[in-house]
Structure 1
Amino acid sequence: YGNNSALDTILGISREKTECALGQHPPSVSYCKAEQDNLLVHQPDEPENPKVLRVAIIGAPNAGKSTLSNKLLGRKVFPVSKKVHTTRCNARGVITEEDTQLIILDTPGLISHTKAKRYLSQFLVLVDVSERWTQNRLSPQVLQCLSQFPQIPSILVMNKVDLLKRKALLLDLVTELTEGVVNGKKLKVKSMSKIHSDSTRNNPLQSIQTCLSENTSKQSGYLQDASEVQRGSSSDTSCNMRASNSNHMLEGTEKVQIANHQVSRDLKNKKGWPHFQEIFMLAAINGEAVETLKKYLLMQAKPGRWEYHSRVLTSQSPQEICDDIIRGKLLDYLPQEVPYTVLQKTEMWEEGPSGELIILQNLLVPKETHVKMLIGVGGQLISKIAQEAGEDLMNIFLCDIRLKLCVKLKK
């Protein structure tokens, strides 16, 4: 903490703007499937001494995994919505900077494959601290995943801290989510709920920083900010992962199997994980802290072969990206179970006379009432969905988009 403190940003303290937001400009994705496919199988243009880090972002549904992935990548390549099951497959995002390649797995909720230990380099556990009922505990599935692969280093990212009304709860949440232990060291954090002085109630920031000061003066690796990340963190507990081939891809749909059933029973009474190496705090409305997180991840990379060419941003095909972006809009604008019944079918995908991408997609629904619901009064809803999806696709493909959505009754 200090002049460049993450807490300053979280709690609304004015600060100088960073020189550059989220690093260099990310590459675009080609809307030509053949070109994207060719790039994915192209020999990586790695330097002489390449480094790589494979990160799985895990957390409860709607914790903000896809949003964080998009912010790290610099483009919205993964679908985002407030409803569950927005992410349907284990897509990969790729960040390449200088000699380092960072591969991000935007998982559909959780990872559950025994080959993870041979592929992954890092777990990033995301917790939405603005969610009242789950803010102080990791989900059983996340704990089960971490327990299955304790040899894989993990960090805790507390998301949407700016939406937390009582900032004084932050230290209590840190203690509960980490069981009071970070990077192998016990935290000496005084609970804010036990501080009753008037000065504390009037100025929670000062008290939080005081508590952190007392702790970090004796221990390192508690809260990462822009100044601390320059020093990096200890690599003694890091695992030297070997690069594996495509047969080691994680299968998100497979169920977790734990041989020792006693482990599962023990996890029922567990709320936190005492083996996190670092803690990060992110604000929902401010992306500055994401750059700090990104720098930290890049610094954790180990010597290893790149998997992708430096111009690759995602492992998805352009059509998959398009389908997911539209589906995310349907999930946002349609009520309850309706969006889950929509079948998407692309009828046209071609380049127009002026270089624009022309897309025609049919949305097939099972009921007449759903047709009217999706079209909206005077066609306003379907037009809004097409406009917003088109803008997102324009940002991904970096070309003009003409997107037309037709709603039809499924026969």
Structure 2
Amino acid sequence: GKSTLSNQLLGRKVFPVSKKVHTTAMQSPGSFGQYRFRYISLSFLAVLVLVDVSDHWTRNCLSQEVLKCLSEFPHVPSVLVLNKVDLLKKKYILLELVTELTEGIVNGKNSSAKTCGIVTEAQGPKPHECRDLKNRKGWPRFQEIFMLAALTGEEVDTLKRYLLMQAKPGPWEFHSGVLTSQSPQEICDNIIREKILEYLPLEVPYGVTQVTELWEEGPSGELLIVQNLVVPRKSHMMMLIGKRGTVISKIAQEAGQDLMNAFLCDVRLKLKVEVKS
């Protein structure tokens, strides 16, 4: 849900999203702002820990990798984000998860949770010192907790307002109109890759190599893109093309529309498929 949440916060689809793993293969910083912040730069360094509450196998504890990161940088503000709450039929589970994932402490105080939005705070003991990470399931130094559904946008604005309120004026790291540090070519590759992941089965999409052959402005200001999709086997090529070209046509059509939404201009996308020689 990380890419979905990032797209919702940015207000535009910049990061690829699919049901398969490793859809977003690189670190892709993004930036967003409201109209009233148009002429000044605001920055807020924080760690957002995203937990999929619909996954009953992983939702009850933070991973060792996440805990290690949090423990190595305890001075960096951290926020717990419980995602996909719309898929949870038994909402009382959220209260149990809050207790486990925060060890009962939020912003240095005992926490008492609500079923949506931000967790309220009550007086209580300060966070205790870090103990052995192997015996730890949660983190007692989260400043806030948010419960949302990134896919539908439920409570995402609450998180966005919090991030904007916490942000402080500073120098522009990127131009005020820039949404992401990715290049346009990287955005294009990622969007096409998302569609390939959606339409090809099993490990097949991971063997596709993308080669951009043409990237130029057309006579009417439209963006002309030709990309060659190279696959290792002829059987993979047949799957990617589909019967009567239906699969590759769907990929080109959907990716082209997403590219127009991302670049705010007309895009003509042509995809070619070949077997690696």
* 1:185–1:297 CA distance, 2 compared to 1 (3 A): same
Q: Give me the TM-score of the superposition, normalised by structure 1.
A: 0.61
How far did residue 283 of structure 1 move? 1.7
Residue 110 of structure 1 aligns with which residue? Answer: none
Note if 1:310 corresponds to 2:176: yes
Matched AA of 2:13: K
- The gaps in structure 2 that reach 5 residues or longer are 124-129
Note if 1:293 corresponds to 2:159: yes
Residue 53 of structure 2 aligns with which residue? Answer: 129
Q: Give me the TM-score of the superposition, normalised by structure 2.
A: 0.89
Matched residue SS, 2:227: strand
Residue 29 of structure 2 aligns with which residue? Answer: 92
Q: Which stretches of structure 1, 4 residues or more, deviate above 6 A after TM superposition?
A: none
* 1:100–1:173 CA distance, 2 compared to 1 (3 A): farther
Aligned residue runs from structure 1 range 261-272, under 5 A: 266-272=132-138
Matched residue SS, 2:132: helix
* 1:286–1:102 CA distance, 2 compared to 1 (3 A): farther
Note if 1:162 corresponds to 2:86: yes
- The gaps in structure 1 that reach 5 residues or longer are 1-63, 104-119, 190-207, 221-262
* 1:360–1:345 CA distance, 2 compared to 1 (3 A): same
Matched residue SS, 1:374: helix
Matched AA of 1:82: K
For the Cα contact (< 8 Å) 2:28–2:181, is it kept in 1? yes
For the Cα contact (< 8 Å) 2:5–2:150, is it kept in 1? no
Residue 6 of structure 1 aligns with which residue? Answer: none
Structure with higher RCO (Cα < 8 A, 6+ apart) = 1
Residue 152 of structure 1 aligns with which residue? Answer: 76
* 1:175–1:301 CA distance, 2 compared to 1 (3 A): same
Separation of aligned partners in 2, 1:315 and 1:406: 28
Matched residue SS, 1:177: helix
How far did residue 81 of structure 1 move? 1.4
How far did residue 100 of structure 1 move? 5.1
Matched residue SS, 1:293: helix
For the Cα contact (< 8 Å) 2:102–2:138, is it kept in 1? yes
Residue 4 of structure 1 aligns with which residue? Answer: none
Residue 260 of structure 1 aligns with which residue? Answer: none
Matched AA of 1:325: I
How far did residue 321 of structure 1 move? 0.6
Separation of aligned partners in 2, 1:163 and 1:355: 43
For the Cα contact (< 8 Å) 2:33–2:164, is it kept in 1? no
Given the alignment, which residue of 172, 186, 199 partners 2:110? 186
For the Cα contact (< 8 Å) 1:129–1:161, is it kept in 2? yes
Separation of aligned partners in 2, 1:178 and 1:123: 14
Residue 365 of structure 1 aligns with which residue? Answer: 231
Separation of aligned partners in 1, 2:236 and 2:273: 9
